Amino acid sequence: MTDTGSPRSSALRRRLSQINPVWVLLVLLIAAIIFMNPRFVEPTGYMNFLKRAAPLAILAAGQVYVIVSGGFDLSVGSLITLVVVGSSMLTNNDPAATYWVIPLMLTMGLGVGAINGLIVCFLRVPSLIATLGMMITLNGLAFLWSGGAPRGYLPDTFRFFGRELIRDVPLVRFIPVSVLVLIVVVGVFAWAMHRTNLGRHIHAIGDNPVAARLAGVPVNRVRITAFMISGLSGAIAGILLGGFAGVSTDVGAGYELQAITAAVLGGAQLLGGKGSVPAAFGGALALTAIFTLLNFLGLPQPVRQVVQGLILIAAVALAMHRRKQTGT
Amino acid sequence: MSIASDTRPTRKGFRFDRWAPLLLLGGAFSIYVAVAIATGQTQYLTFDNLIAILGRSIALGITAIGQTFVILVASIDLSVASLISATAVLASVVMDGSPAMILPAVLAAIALGGIVGLANGLVIIGLKVNPLIATLGMSLIIQGCLSAFVSNFAGEVPSAFQVFAYGEVGPFPFALLFLAALAVLAWGVLRFTKFGSDMYAVGGNEEAARFAGIKTGRIVILSHIICSVCASIAGLYLASRLRSGAPWIGSDGVYDLESIAVVVIGGTILAGGRGGIWGTMAGMLIFSLIDSVFNIAGVDSYAKQVLRGVIIVAAVAFYAINSKRIVA
């Protein structure tokens, strides 16, 4: 790289190159959406967008923990299905049951994550296979539990988190409850990842597990925690999705790959050591914006698939190109 | 240097990881025999029935042979399932019931496989995109293009080509002999050619391989081409078996994840550089034996799925548990 500019311009360039490209992408996509549909700037427009993006954004924030620690979590999609199906079986149309079903589902998410972590740490099964096995198992459990034909109702108390709006809020008129959940979850996850020792430990074991262990990081405990956080995010996303959509045995299908895509769009490095929760949140918003845009353009589902594939490859290729240029 | 890189026992003699797939296969086979005897269905123990069991997993076996090549060089291919659908449709559309078009159809299918493999390899090597993401993106692109044109069974396979799936040579189905021949060929390539040993070198330590003068990029691209061509052969087999191609046959069979599971159960490690074809073949046999055990024992199909997930993890844990390396 030849540096012909003045010190100030090179400093500016350095500042610019530190901006995560996912935010540029997001701004461009939002601008395109507004161009296509000017009503998007009204609260109804962008709040509905955020509401729709919430489950994916929460999942992506959880997935970043596992990706930064050096693994994958493919089990979150079927965990969502199990949460939705299980909640509908357990609540059994009884509104009062919500109060113990939701904590139970969150515990189940943590439990599934803990089992994933234990399998990876103590049975030494690579996480790709461990969580793939978990994905197949949980899908089977969801079918087994519902007998293949889940009942179609969740009580309104359960759907509160996914569906209700808080009205009469100044400035924005209304806020969907799911957006509040999104803000709280992503905020807490971002804080834990970037401001606490846990986050530093997760980065350390993803970057170089041997060095981390020699430096005194409790590698297994940290790795299990990462999987538990991802499991928890799956359970939360499942509760939100149960509120939007009906009960079926394929509500969660495909979410695991979308979550990984969102995290990667946000610059998370597969196989560990680098990644950011806010950027994964941006990645999830960008991915949802792409889908929204393709919807506006009236493109059929197959084209959306092709575009998603191209964007995925292009995003990673661009990230690798930048990494090579900046030498990190 | 690194204390955690797997410290292999220096003494010669019994090497557990080499024999693990065979032990697993023996275990699966004895369970099969035990279940057949316990439920009094000894008719399942005949030679013909064992051949029939093998016959059911030929497409998986062919795909897994290809997958072994990419996993050996520490890559992975998630695009095989949609490539299988694409080649099956392509072949059956080109043939369209006319025996004269068999050769062009086969060539077209294999050429498609070669092109996809080349594209995968170039994206991974040239653009430095993580193989998981590159092939996942490729899978979305192929599936999207395919479903844009075809939504149901398309074309027709002439009866002359159905010999591939239904023909018999003596007591053996033709396809089984073909699979065996393909396995021997793959074993020969890995065992006796320079390309084979280069693959192990690249998978074991890419940097060291490069310093040793191996053109590592070329090796990885070539493995991807082999993998995709194997997948397109599996697509041809399925088209011949189903007498027509449909855009969902690959994803229905979950050939992407199942072929990876088969390879890993066969003792090839995801980190690359260790494993082989015979392990993969053992993995394929284990999978089909497990399925048969479920069928004989009359396990409910949902419970079958749950057990399947558990078995995949348990089988990988069976030999991974002793390794000293830190996995993620």
Collect the ranges in chain A with pLDDT lower than 70. 1-9, 16-17, 151-152, 326-328
Residue numbers in B near A309 (CB within 8 A):
136-141, 144
Q: B252 touching A, CB under 8 A? A: no
Q: Mean pLDDT, to the nearest integer, of B52-72? A: 91
Q: How many CB atoms lie within 10 A of CB B9?
A: 9
pLDDT at A1: 43
Interface of B with A in 131-150 (CB under 8 A): 132-134, 136-141, 143-148
pLDDT score of A154 = 82
In this complex, the residue of A120, A213, A317 whose CB is nearest that of residue B328 is A120
Name which of A75, A128, A322 to mutate to probe chain B: the one with the most chain B Cβ atoms within 10 A of its Cβ: A128
Reported ipTM exceeds the 0.95 cut: no
Q: How far apart are CA A134 and CA A131, in angstroms?
A: 5
Chain mean pLDDT for chain B: 87
Tokens of B278: 């015979």
CA distance A172 to B190: 64
The string of pLDDT tens digits covering residues B241-284 is 888 888 888 888 788 888 988 998 888 888 888 888 999 999 99
Q: Which of A258, A257, A235 is nearest to A84 (CA)?
A: A235
Q: What is the pLDDT of residue B227?
A: 96
Instruction: Give A130's contacts in chain B (Cβ within 8 Å).
Output: 313, 316
For residue B294, the number of C-alpha atoms closer than 13 Å in the C-beta half-sphere is: 16
Q: Judge whether B238 and B249 are in contact, CB under 8 Å.
A: yes
**Residue B299 domain flag:** no
Indicate the SS3 state at residue A173. Answer: strand
Cα separation of the two ends of chain B: 20
**Helix pair A277-296, A43-68: axis angle to 10 deg:** 130
Other Cβ atoms less than 10 A from the Cβ of B150: the count is 21
From residue A129, give the alpha-carbon distance in Å to each of A73, A117, B92, B260, B276.
Answer: 10, 12, 34, 9, 18
For residues B323 and B9, give the distance between their C-alpha atoms in angstroms, rounded to a whole number: 11
Assess if residue B309 is contained within a domain. Answer: no
Which pLDDT value is given to residue A8? 64
Please name the residues between 163 and 202 in chain B that touch chain A, using a CB distance below 8 Å: none
Q: Across the interface, do A316 and B309 touch by the CB < 8 Å criterion?
A: no
Shortest CA distance from B257: residue in chain A: A132
pLDDT at A152: 65
Give me the total of CB pairs closer than 8 Å, taking one residue from chain A and one from chain B: 173
Residues in chain B closer than 8 A to A129 (CB atoms):
260-261, 264, 270, 312-313, 316
What are the tens digits of pLDDT across the range B132-187? 889 989 999 999 999 888 888 888 888 888 888 888 887 888 899 999 999 999 99
B138: which chain A residues are within 8 Å (Cβ-Cβ)? 309, 313
DSSP letters for A80-130: HHHHHHHHHHHHTT-GGGHHHHHHHHHHHHHHHHHHHHHHHHHS---HHHH
Cα dist from B94 to A48, A116, A313, B152, B294, whole Å: 46, 46, 30, 15, 38
Q: Please, how many CA atoms are within 13 Å of residue A263, restricted to the half-sphere of its CB?
A: 32
**Which of A129, A143, A305 is the closest to B302 by Cβ?**
A143
Search chain B and give the residue with CA nearest A272: B328
Q: Which residues of chain A are within 8 Å of residue B75 when distances are taken between CB atoms?
A: none
Could you tell me which of A46, A265, A78, A21 has the C-alpha nearest to residue A171? A46
Distance CA A133, CA B142 (A): 26
Q: Do A144 and B139 touch (CB under 8 A)?
A: no
Q: What's the pLDDT at A327?
A: 61
- What pLDDT was estimated at residue A319? 77
Kindly report the nearest CA distance between residue B141 and chain A, in angstroms: 4
> What would the mean pLDDT of B56-81 be, rounded to a whole number?
93
Residue B160 gets which letter from DSSP?
A: T
| pLDDT surpassing 80 at residue B25 | yes
Could B123 and A317 be called an inter-chain contact, meaning their C-beta atoms sit closer than 8 Å?
Answer: yes
In a domain, B221, yes or no: yes
Residue B181's contacts (CB-CB under 8 Å, 6 or more residues apart) are none
Q: Cα distance from A97 to chain B (closest Cα, Å)?
A: 27
pLDDT in tens, B273-325: 888 899 999 999 988 888 888 888 888 888 888 888 888 888 888 877 777 66
Q: What is the C-alpha separation between A326 and A328, in angstroms, rounded?
A: 6
Q: Does B46 touch chain A (CB under 8 A)?
A: no
CA-to-CA distance for B328 and B326, rounded, in angstroms? Answer: 7
Subunit contact A120:B147, Cβ cutoff 8 A? no
Check pLDDT > 90 for residue B128.
no
Is B9 within a domain?
Answer: no
- Within 8 A of A302 by CB-CB distance, chain B residues are 143-148
Map tokens 């009580």 to a residue.
A155
Which residues contact residue B160 at a Cβ distance below 8 angstroms, ignoring those fewer than 6 apart?
B99, B102
Contact criterion met (CB < 8 Å) for A140 and B313? no
Chain A nearest-CA residue for B132? A270
B141/B146 Cα distance (integer angstroms): 8
CB atoms A139 and B148 under 8 Å: no
Cα–Cα dist B182/B188, whole Å: 10
Task: Note whether residue B174 is domain-resident.
Answer: yes
Burial (CB < 10 A; 0-12, 13-18, 19+), residue B50, is middle
pLDDT for the residue numbered B328:
65
Structural domain range at position B227: 60-276
Query: Hey, is the C-beta of B1 within 8 angstroms of any chain A C-beta?
Result: no
pLDDT at A222: 94
Instruction: Taking residues B86-108, report their average pLDDT.
Output: 91
Residues in A closer than 8 angstroms to B308, CB to CB, are 136-137, 140
Q: CB–CB of A132 and B312 under 8 A?
A: yes
- On whether residue B197 sits in a domain, the answer given is yes
- Which of B302, B304, B308 is best to mutate for the A interface (most A CBs within 10 A)? B302
Note whether A271 contacts B4, CB cutoff 8 Å.
Answer: no
Q: How many domains, in total, are found in chain B?
A: 1
CA-nearest of A304, A312, A203, A323 to A265 is A312
Determine the distance from the C-alpha atom of residue A235 to the mean position of all C-alpha atoms in its chain, rounded to a whole number. Answer: 12
Write down the pLDDT at residue A10.
73
Average pLDDT over every residue of B205-228:
94
Residue B53 lies in a domain: no
Residue B14 pLDDT class (50, 70, 90 cuts):
low
Phi, psi values for residue B202, rounded to 5°: -65, -40
Q: In the block, which residue shows the tokens 């095989």?
A: B80
Q: Residue A312's closest CA among A257, A271, A275?
A: A257
Contact between residue A43 and residue A270 where contact means Cβ atoms under 8 Å apart: no
Interface of B with A in 94-123 (CB under 8 A): 123
CB atoms within 10 A of CB B21: 26
The better pLDDT of the pair B227, B29 is held by B227
Contact A229, A113 (CB under 8 A): yes
Helix A255-265 × helix A76-91 angle, to 10°: 130
> Does residue A105 contact residue A162 with C-beta atoms inside 8 Å?
no
User: Does B7 reach chain A within 8 Å, measured CB to CB?
Assistant: no
